Copies of this chain bind each other. A is one copy, B any other.
Amino acid sequence: MGATKAEEFTLRDNRIARYAKALGHPARVAILRLLAERQACMCGDIVEELPIAQSTVSQHLGELKAAGLIQGEIDGPRVCYCINEKEWTSALTVLNEFFKLPKEIAAKCC
């Protein structure tokens, strides 16, 4: 993302940014949607559903895993991915809390 000064911000804000960044690309949103919408968790079927190459899908999966939002489990010759419910809930909570901030404020100036 270019030079960054992430360390100089609060842990809380970095946490929010980390989750948000993981959702910051339509391919990753689409992947998460697929994982959420299908009963079973997906593996390489994602590649067939999305307009990007296998290696790129794998890269996006890696980022989602790094953010903690999904987890993968080896299932025979393939890998079965699914949403990490715990982190997912955590992300929802953190983002919701953040988004509700202005609701508590009456005054508006512009």
Residue of B nearest to A80 (CB): B110
User: Does A20 interact with chain B (Cβ within 8 Å)?
Assistant: yes
Pair A51/B5 contact, Cβ less than 8 Å: yes
User: Does A95 interact with chain B (Cβ within 8 Å)?
Assistant: yes
Pair A26/B41 contact, Cβ less than 8 Å: no
Residues of B within 8 A of A8 (CB): 51-52
Pair A24/B21 contact, Cβ less than 8 Å: yes
Chain A residues within CB distance 8 Å of chain B: 1, 4-6, 8-10, 13-14, 16-17, 20-30, 32-33, 35-37, 39-41, 50-52, 71-73, 75, 80-83, 85, 88, 91-92, 95-96, 98-102, 105, 107-110
